[in-house]
């Protein structure tokens, strides 16, 4: 299973290095949203600074759907995903590989968007380690749910609409926990252990469940 996951992960990285489609789409979108927030709201107030983490993650949740959509579009494009699904490999391995690639792309997008976020919202990073953990666990959470549901949505005609409809509500707990842990890293919240635990549990539960059910998702018609 891990061999399959590695092969799929490397393939997605190679494609992303060549095209930069997923990361650039997500990045442009999240920057746009941050800019719009910045102009639409008066962000230079203490209240706003406390809400900054929330704005960041909301921008990021929507941007993430673009990257996820791209991840499955490339499997659909010339039917390569069909061949992948028919290979004599564990479906869970395919899921883990796609999920790992997506999580990495989301994490990279966040790191690149971070400086703009810091400037626009005038926040300062108090705890870098906590911020990295928050970003990483949050990215994994989004990728875990998103990879599962973009595979579900990929076989339908309304892929673009269905993905956010399925994916955003389910990721609300992860979203809240990500906001709280990022707030903590920015020095705007206390008592992060509950939220970090929630994120870890959420990641483990969704990864495990998805690995188990992915076989049925790949079976179409």
Can you tell me which of 40, 46, 47, 88 binds another protein, judged by CB under 8 A? Answer: 88
Please say whether the beta carbons of 172 and 111 come within 8 A: no
Tokens 């102009």 locate to 39
The rounded radius of gyration (Å) of the Cα atoms in the chain is: 17
Identify which range of 85-93, 102-110, 130-138, 188-196 contacts another protein by CB under 8 A.
Answer: 85-93
**Single residue of 1, 51, 58, 89 touching another protein by CB under 8 A:** 89
Pick the closest to residue 138 from 186, 187, 202, 43 (CA basis): 202
Contact status, residue 107 vs residue 169, Cβ threshold 8 Å: no
Q: Which of 58, 74, 116, 132 binds another protein (CB under 8 A)?
A: 74
Does 157 interact with another protein (rule: CB under 8 A)? no
Q: Does residue 181 touch another protein according to CB under 8 A?
A: no
Nearest distance from residue 163's CB to another protein, in Å?
Answer: 21
Question: Of the candidates 155, 161, 156, which has an alpha carbon nearest to the alpha carbon of residue 82?
Answer: 155
Applying the rule CB under 8 A, the residues between 192 and 221 that interact with another protein are 219-221
Q: Which of 11, 50, 127, 159 binds another protein (CB under 8 A)?
A: 11
By the rule CB under 8 A, 100 interacts with another protein: no
Question: Does residue 80 belong to the site contacting another protein (CB under 8 A)?
Answer: yes
**Structure tokens of 127?**
């705890």
Closest CB to another protein among residues 80, 172: 80
- Which residue in the block uniquely carries the two structure tokens 């959420």? 202
Q: How long is the chain?
A: 221
Contact 84, 90 (CB under 8 A): no
Q: Is residue 86 within the footprint of another protein (CB under 8 A)?
A: yes
């Amino acid at each position: 299973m891990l061999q399959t996951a590695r092969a799929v992960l490397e393939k997605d990285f190679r494609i992303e290095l060549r095209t930069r489609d997923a990361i650039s789409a997500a990045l442009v979108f999240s920057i746009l949203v941050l800019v719009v927030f910045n102009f639409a709201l008066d962000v230079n107030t203490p209240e706003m600074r406390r809400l900054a983490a929330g704005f960041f993650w909301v921008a990021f949740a929507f941007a993430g759907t673009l990257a996820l959509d791209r991840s499955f579009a490339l499997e659909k494009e010339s039917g390569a995903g069909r061949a992948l699904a028919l290979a004599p490999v564990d479906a869970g391995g395919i899921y883990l590989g796609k999920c790992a690639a997506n999580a990495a792309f989301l994490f990279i997008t966040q790191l690149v968007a971070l400086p703009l976020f810091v400037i626009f919202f005038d926040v300062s990073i108090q705890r870098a380690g906590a911020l990295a953990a928050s970003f990483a666990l949050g990215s994994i959470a989004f990728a875990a749910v998103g990879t599962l549901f973009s595979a579900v949505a990929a076989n339908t005609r309304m892929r673009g609409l269905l993905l956010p409809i399925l994916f955003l509500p389910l990721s609300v707990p992860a979203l809240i926990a990500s906001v709280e842990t990022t707030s903590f890293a920015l020095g705007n919240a206390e008592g992060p252990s509950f939220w970090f635990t929630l994120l870890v549990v959420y990641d483990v539960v969704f990864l495990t469940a998805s690995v188990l059910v992915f076989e049925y998702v790949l079976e179409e018609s």
